[in-house]
Amino acid sequence: MQNEFWEQRYAEPGLAYGDKPNAFLQRCADQFRLGQKALVIGDGEGRNGVWLAEQGLDVLSVDLSTVGLEKARQLAAQRGVTIRTECADLSRWDWPEGEYDHVVIIYVHFPPDIREKIHHQALMALKPGGQIIFEAFTVEQLEHDSGGPPVKEMLYDEPLVRADFSSGEFEFLQSCVEHLDEGKYHVGDAAIIRARIRRK
Ligand SMILES: C[S@@+](CC[C@H](N)C(=O)[O-])C[C@H]1O[C@@H](n2cnc3c(N)ncnc32)[C@H](O)[C@@H]1O
C-alpha cells in the first residue's frame, strides 16, 4: 500500500521534492569529509544522497520505491557522481552495524509499529562517533498544508525523537516553524523537528 503510494508519486513528471538538498543537511556541510560513508534511508528520488556524493561521500541510498531510486541514479548521472541504491522495506531490511559515518533520515515518517526499531537500527548502523542527521514534521504540522502525512500517529515531537534515539548523544535538537521550498510537495510554512545525534 505504502509502496504503491510512493511509486505513483515518483511516476509523476519532475522531482517531487526538487533536485536541491534539504536545507538542514546542507547546513551540516562542515560535518562531512571526503570518502566518508553515508547511508541515506528513504532517499526517494535522491536529492540528498546525490548531494552527499557531490561532497565526496560514498553513498548508499535505500528506499521502498524502484521508480524513485531509478530517478536518483539518473540525477547522480546528470551530476557526474555515483551512488549505490538498494530497494528495500527498512522494516525488513538486513541492517548493517557499525559501518557508517552518517545516517541521513530526512522526512521519512514511519508508522508507530515499526518506527522505534528502525530508528534504533539506524543508530546502530553508525560507527561509534558517527551521526544521524534527521528532519521530519511535528504533530503541529497538522495545522499546515505544506506536506507530510496527515496522520497524527506518523508525526513526531521532541520527546518521541529523544526517546527513539536515547542511546545516542544529541548534539543539536530544534523544533520550529520554517518555510519549505522543496519541489512541489513541501511548499510553505511547516512545523518541523531537526536533530544531529551522535553514536557514543
Ligand atoms: C517524503 S519522502 C522523502 C524522500 C527524501 N528523503 C527527500 O527528502 O526527498 C519519504 C520516503 O520514504 C520512503 N519510505 C517510507 N517508508 C519506507 C520504508 N518502510 N522502507 C523504505 N523506504 C521507505 C518512501 O518511499 C519515500 O521515498
Could you tell me the CA-to-CA distances from 9 to 13, 56, 128, 150 in Å, in that order? 9, 29, 36, 16
DSSP code for 148: S
The answer to whether residue 91 is domain-embedded is: yes
The answer to whether residue 192 is domain-embedded is: no
pLDDT of residue 24: 98
How far does residue 89's CA lie from ligand 1's centre (Å)? 10
The answer to whether residue 119 is domain-embedded is: yes
The answer to whether residue 195 is domain-embedded is: no
Q: Minimal CA–CA distance to 106: which of 15, 41, 174, 186?
A: 41
Domain count, the chain: 1
The answer to whether residue 71 is domain-embedded is: yes
The answer to whether residue 58 is domain-embedded is: yes
Residue 35: which region, alpha, beta or left (left: phi > 0; alpha: psi -120 to 50)? left
As given in the structure block, the three cell numbers for residue 121 are 537500527
As given in the structure block, the three cell numbers for residue 52 are 552527499
* 3-state secondary structure at position 116: helix
pLDDT of residue 2: 72
The answer to whether residue 87 is domain-embedded is: yes
Length of the chain in terms of residues written: 200
Atom of ligand 1 minimally distant from the CA of 10 = 27
pLDDT at 1 over 70: no
How far does residue 3's CA lie from ligand 1's centre (Å)? 9
Q: State the CATH number of the domain containing residue 82.
A: 3.40.50.150
The separation between CA 81 and the C-alpha centre of its own chain, rounded to angstroms, equals: 19
d(CA 108, CA 164): 14
d(CA 186, CA 179): 9
> Is-contact 69 46, C-beta < 8 A?
yes
- Tell me the residue range of the domain where 136 lies: 2-184
Region 129-139 average pLDDT: 98
Could you tell me the CA-to-CA distances from 20 to 16, 46, 146, 156, 185 in Å, in that order? 11, 10, 17, 24, 13
Taking only the tens place, the pLDDT of each residue in 64-74 is 999 999 999 99
The answer to whether residue 189 is domain-embedded is: no
Pocket of ligand 1 from Cβ distances under 6 Å: 2, 6, 17, 22, 42-44, 47-48, 63-65, 68, 89-91, 106-108
pTM of the model: 0.98
Taking only the tens place, the pLDDT of each residue in 2-53 is 789 999 999 999 999 999 999 999 999 999 999 999 999 999 999 999 999 9
Taking only the tens place, the pLDDT of each residue in 54-94 is 999 999 999 999 999 999 999 999 999 999 999 999 999 99
